Structure 1
């Protein structure tokens, strides 16, 4: 047999495991890219909905400052909507809510239900002061933080999806590391939003009794878990692109083209 042909057959046989590993790598990275793109839309859905935290008031918790009864509330990133019961004669309820008496149960009072929303980014102002007992300046600061990082993370995720797609056109290791870095920033930004939301709920429970009365309890809702899904997807994508960003030169590359792509090069202007 011709020695050149023998060498070619031997080289092809040796590269078969490398080709199989390359196919697996491309599939994993492609899956990560698809998930990051999907997470961008999931993140928009999560941020724009009021299903982050549900505060439950059971059969109704009396709010002495207004005479109403809190039934439940749904919190989003920048607003909280309370479902309350308004007695028909609020003065009677307020009279019953003195320090020596206990307000009557909600089911013994005639009234009606309605939903009241507090927007912490654009509160209703009267004489340059918020005209809403549910408004709290510290909560508003939390909200501004969440909105800021939410918008930043959206742009970073979009950019990360674009760089991830580019790695399939240019297999050089440095572009994979760049994509991994961008995914890591996305992970950090989305994680900040989730953590600030948890801190906000804890602050409401301790300090804003009008929104979170003593006998109420809360649980996290679907948007909160969608946000966690986005955090985990970006974290996995960052780890995957970083893991597969190793240099593959010479015999370590599955093809000669990939081996040449990872060779040292001078990037000009």
Structure 2
């Protein structure tokens, strides 16, 4: 039997047809936003995985005294840092003035291996057992003991001698003047002008002739550094290679000041465009990429002049909010698709709110990143030398895409989250979904 359809039902369906069309348009928009959220989640994962957020270029090369290298470029992300440099090495028979640090190891792994080997040598054992005569001065025996404790990794004993050295030697007025540099730009000194440096006494008594590798050459050794090392130190194995690391751990600056207390820096000629060798120097490219230690100890920070405690706070904040953003975006993507299974308005508002929270945390990552760049530029010359140029890598642009995408999707979900009850609903099922729910006991 065929049942007649009432005219009231037909009229109601006709009246609701525009509402149904609008509802289907809304579903297509929100489906597009949900798919876009999945794309945005993938983009965010790619963004925080890359090490191309900050790119710093040094042009033809910027000489960094701490590492004795020309800074060429660096790029870093939230977890990993890469640095590209060129190492100028004076040729063995070249007539140039060298810094004492050029004799030493710079790789921390080489330094650790050398100290381990040195600690088992007989002369170090003898140095560690030398008797002190109770003199009020920092004697030759004290210098030997301090070096031996440092080489053997006996931190407590080394710090005791280091404190005594600071009190008896470094804290004197004459030596303090060697540390307190003015804010004036350092003066570059041409290391090829050996005769001029000697004649003008540019470095004073810091300029010493040292026989190293059977070659007698001029080295710049700060006067306080000379007072911290024992006599005839060049004749002992590995001591020369560890001198710079030892002086640094004592806390003696590697620079020398002129009479106006301006820092003097030996700056080799710029490296050739094609690299290689000149008549005085060989130029060796060196690149290093490493994951950032989020919780370094004080010793690790001393060996990383491009980082300090405050910068590490910035880096940890970036990493934390990057992970929070990843979690919130994953939650938002799940709730976005759940709104198609349960059309109740509150789930759309929840999804929209989650998207806006994810946008906020992504913006925090970007803002902390920009603040860390400003801090690095102002306080860490090693990481952001004067004259370097900053550009942003594709990681930053991917992060901005994620931020805009979350804002847009969050607004769309909130915009289409209005209640559709009664005659405003396109059908009875959707009308019932938005009715108030009474929770029983």
TM-score (norm 2): 0.57
Shift of 1:116: 2.6
Shift of 1:123: 7.3
1:104 pairs, out of 244, 269, 273, with 269
Contact 2:63 2:267 in 1 (8 A): no
Distance verdict in 2 for CA 1:265–1:57, change over 3 Å: same
Distance verdict in 2 for CA 1:35–1:86, change over 3 Å: same
2:315 pairs, out of 143, 146, 152, with 143
C-alpha separation between the residues in 1 aligned to 2:298 and 2:374?
28
C-alpha separation between the residues in 1 aligned to 2:190 and 2:439?
79
Contact 1:52 1:222 in 2 (8 A): yes
Superposed, 1:115-154 pairs within 5 Å as: 115-117=287-289, 119-122=291-294, 127=299, 129-154=301-326
Q: Deviations over 1:193-231 (max 9, x none)?
A: 111111111111111111111101111110110011111
1:204 pairs, out of 376, 381, 394, with 376
Contact 1:125 1:131 in 2 (8 A): no
* Correspondence for 2:88: 87
C-alpha separation between the residues in 2 aligned to 1:86 and 1:102?
12
TM-score (norm 1): 0.91
Deviates more, 1:73-82 or 1:242-251: 73-82
C-alpha separation between the residues in 2 aligned to 1:119 and 1:138?
18
* Correspondence for 1:166: 338
* Correspondence for 1:214: 386
Q: Deviations over 1:59-80 (max 9, x none)?
A: 1111122220111110101332
SS of residue matched to 1:99? strand
* Correspondence for 2:8: 7
Q: Deviations over 1:138-195 (max 9, x none)?
A: 1111110011111111111111111111110110001111111111111111111111
C-alpha separation between the residues in 1 aligned to 2:357 and 2:363?
10
The size of the alignment, in residue pairs, is 268
RMSD: 2.5
C-alpha separation between the residues in 2 aligned to 1:169 and 1:87?
66
* Correspondence for 2:49: 48
Shift of 1:92: 5.0
Shift of 1:101: 6.5
* Correspondence for 1:32: 33
Distance verdict in 2 for CA 1:139–1:234, change over 3 Å: same
Deviates more, 1:83-92 or 1:158-167: 83-92
SS of residue matched to 1:218? strand
C-alpha separation between the residues in 1 aligned to 2:292 and 2:98?
29
Contact 1:124 1:131 in 2 (8 A): no
Shift of 1:9: 2.5
* Correspondence for 1:249: 421
C-alpha separation between the residues in 1 aligned to 2:414 and 2:97?
66
Contact 1:118 1:132 in 2 (8 A): no
Distance verdict in 2 for CA 1:268–1:155, change over 3 Å: farther
SS of residue matched to 2:381? coil
- Please, which runs of 5 or more residues in structure 2 have no aligned partner? 100-188, 192-262, 273-277
C-alpha separation between the residues in 1 aligned to 2:97 and 2:67?
12
Mark the structure with the bigger radius of gyration.
2
* Correspondence for 2:437: 265
SS of residue matched to 1:168? helix
Shift of 1:102: 5.2
- Please, which runs of 5 or more residues in structure 1 have no aligned partner? none
Shift of 1:6: 2.5
Distance verdict in 2 for CA 1:122–1:260, change over 3 Å: closer
